[in-house]
């Protein structure tokens, strides 16, 4: 199997007593994932930047925020056998401090959600399988295979102690 391209997602989060109470999601306005809530992020220019630098660049481009700290919380492989160009390894981070307030761009429209009110029905169909672990403070590794119409064909999700 060929190596998957690296992509990133950052979730800005607010915590109280070490628990995530609020999460910033952004509505994708165009391109891959359009009309779905997700974290911000995208492709990494692996010959020009580290994965973390790519995550920070995408966050600035998509919601005009400079994330100050990144905590890696998940590593997920997504394969699309019917369209291999979409397949990717996604490095997922949370950030508890940033400069600026999330604002809408041509690509994303950010909105804060209570962690108990995440709009899973308007997100990727894999999200309910792993985001709850992130909200509980766990680290996650997993893989998902998607069929036509973004149907989850196979999934493997586990919590880990480190990456």
Q: If you average pLDDT over every residue of the chain, what do you get?
A: 96
Q: Percent of the chain having pLDDT more than 90?
A: 95
Average pLDDT over residues 51-71: 96
Overall pTM surpassing 0.85 (yes/no):
yes
Q: What is the pLDDT of residues 73-125, one digit of tens each?
A: 999 999 999 999 999 999 999 999 999 999 999 999 999 999 999 999 999 99
Name the nearest CA neighbour of 97 among 115, 124, 70: 70
Token pair listed for 55:
């995550």
Q: What is the pLDDT of residues 8-28, one digit of tens each?
A: 999 999 999 989 999 999 999
CB neighbour class for 72 (10 Å; exposed up to 12, middle 13-18, buried from 19): middle
Residue 49 DSSP symbol: S
Return left, alpha or beta for 100; rule: phi > 0 is left, psi -120 to 50 is alpha, else beta. Answer: left
pLDDT band at 3 (very low <50, low <70, confident <90, very high): confident
Lowest mean pLDDT among 2-6, 31-35, 71-75, 133-137: 2-6
């Amino acid at each position: 199997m060929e190596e998957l391209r690296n992509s990133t997602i950052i979730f800005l989060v607010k915590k109280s007593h070490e628990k995530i109470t609020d999460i910033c999601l952004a509505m994708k306005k165009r391109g891959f994932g359009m009309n779905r809530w997700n974290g911000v992020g995208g492709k990494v220019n692996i010959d020009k930047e580290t994965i973390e630098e790519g995550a920070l660049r995408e966050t600035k481009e998509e919601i005009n925020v400079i994330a100050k700290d990144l905590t890696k919380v998940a590593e997920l492989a997504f394969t699309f056998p019917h369209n291999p160009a979409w397949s990717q390894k996604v490095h997922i981070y949370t950030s508890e401090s940033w400069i600026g307030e999330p604002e809408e761009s041509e690509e994303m429209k950010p909105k804060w959600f209570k962690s108990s009110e995440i709009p899973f029905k308007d997100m990727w169909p894999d999200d309910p399988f792993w985001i709850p672990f992130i909200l509980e403070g766990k680290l996650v590794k997993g893989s998902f295979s998607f069929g036509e119409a973004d149907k989850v064909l196979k999934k493997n999700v586990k919590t880990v102690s480190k990456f």
